Amino acid sequence: MKLIKVAAAVLNQTPLDWTGNASRIRAALAEARRQGASVVCLPELCLTGYGCEDAFHAPGVARRAWELLHELAADTRGLIVSIGLPVQHLRAVYNMAALIVDGRIVGFAAKRHLAGDGVHYEPRWFKAWPAGKTALLTDDSGRAYMAGDLVFDAGGVRIGFEICEDAWAADRPGISLSRRGVDVILNPSASHFAFGKNAVRQKFILEGSRAFNAAYVYANLLGNESGRVIFDGEAMIASGGKLAATIERFSYQDFGVISAQVDLDHGLVSQSRNFSAVPDLEGMDAACLTAPFDWPALDPEPAGRAAEPWEAAPDLKLEEFSRAVPLALFDYLRKSRSRGFVVSLSGGADSTSLVVLIRLMIELGTEELGLEGFQKKLAWHAEVQKATDLASLTRALLTTAYQASGNSGGVTRDAAKGVAEAIGAHHMEFDISGLVAGYTAMVEGGIGRALTWERDDVTLQNIQARVRSPGIWMVANLQGALLLSTSNRSEAAVGYATMDGDTSGGLSPISGIDKAWLREWLRWMEHHGPAERHPLPVLGLVNVQAPTAELRPPGSHQTDESDLMPYPLLDAIERAAIRDKYMPLEVLRQMRLRFPQYGLPQLSGWVERFFQLWCRNQWKRERYAPGFHLDDENLDPKTWCRFPILSSGFEVELAEMRTWTRENS
Q: What mean pLDDT is predicted for residues 367-378?
A: 98
Please report which confidence band the pLDDT of residue 270 belongs to, taking 50, 70 and 90 as the band edges.
low
The string of pLDDT tens digits covering residues 491-539 is 999 999 999 998 999 999 999 999 999 999 999 999 999 998 999 999 9
d(CA 341, CA 396): 9
- Going along the chain from its start, the domains and CATH numbers come out as 3-299 (3.60.110.10), 313-559 (3.40.50.620), 565-665 (1.10.10.1140)
For the chain, what percentages of helix, strand and coil (3-state, to nearest 5) are there? Answer: 45, 20, 35
Side-chain-side CA neighbours of 456 within 13 Å: the count stands at 12
pLDDT at 276 over 80: no
The string of pLDDT tens digits covering residues 81-131 is 999 999 999 999 999 999 999 999 999 999 999 999 888 999 999 999 999
d(CA 237, CA 247): 10
CA dihedral 69, 70, 76, 79 (to 10 degrees): 80
Alpha helices in 217-342 (DSSP H): 264-273, 316-336
Strands 151-154 and 288-291: parallel
* pTM exceeding the 0.75 threshold for the entire prediction: yes
The string of pLDDT tens digits covering residues 206-246 is 999 999 999 999 999 999 999 999 999 999 999 999 999 99
Helix (H) or strand (E) holding 115, with range, is: none
Q: What is the pLDDT of residue 451?
A: 97
Q: What is the pLDDT of residue 409?
A: 87
Instruction: Output the CA–CA distances (angstroms, integers) from residue 614 to 403, 578, 621, in the order listed.
Output: 29, 9, 10
Q: What DSSP line would sit under 425-490, residue for residue?
A: -EEEEEE-HHHHHHHHHHHHHHHTS---TTT-HHHHHHHHHHHHHHHHHHHHHHHT-EEBP---HH
Q: Which of 662, 657, 664 is nearest to 588 (CA)?
A: 657
Backbone phi and psi for residue 57, each to the nearest 5 degrees, phi listed first: -75, -15
Q: If DSSP codes are grouped into helix, strand and coil, which group holds residue 405? A: coil
Please report which confidence band the pLDDT of residue 490 belongs to, taking 50, 70 and 90 as the band edges.
very high
The string of pLDDT tens digits covering residues 86-100 is 999 999 999 999 999
pLDDT at 268 over 70: no
Asked if 378 and 515 count as a contact pair (C-beta separation under 8 A), the reply is: no
Q: What is the pLDDT of residue 281?
A: 55
Give CA 631 to chain center in angstroms: 8
Please report which confidence band the pLDDT of residue 269 belongs to, taking 50, 70 and 90 as the band edges.
low
* Backbone φ/ψ region at 424: left (φ over 0), alpha (ψ -120 to 50), beta: left
Residue 291, number of CB atoms within 10 A of its CB: 18
Q: What is the pLDDT of residue 543?
A: 95
d(CA 5, CA 19): 29
Alpha helices in 498-599 (DSSP H): 515-527, 540-543, 560-563, 567-574, 584-594
Which range, of 158-172, 277-291, 454-468, 633-647, averages the lowest pLDDT? 277-291
The string of pLDDT tens digits covering residues 545-566 is 888 767 788 877 788 788 889 9
Q: Which of 61, 51, 173, 223 is nearest to 122 (CA)?
A: 51
The string of pLDDT tens digits covering residues 31-50 is 999 999 999 999 999 999 99
Q: What is the pLDDT of residue 139?
A: 80
- Residue 616 one-letter amino acid: R
pLDDT at 14 over 70: yes
pLDDT at 272 over 70: no
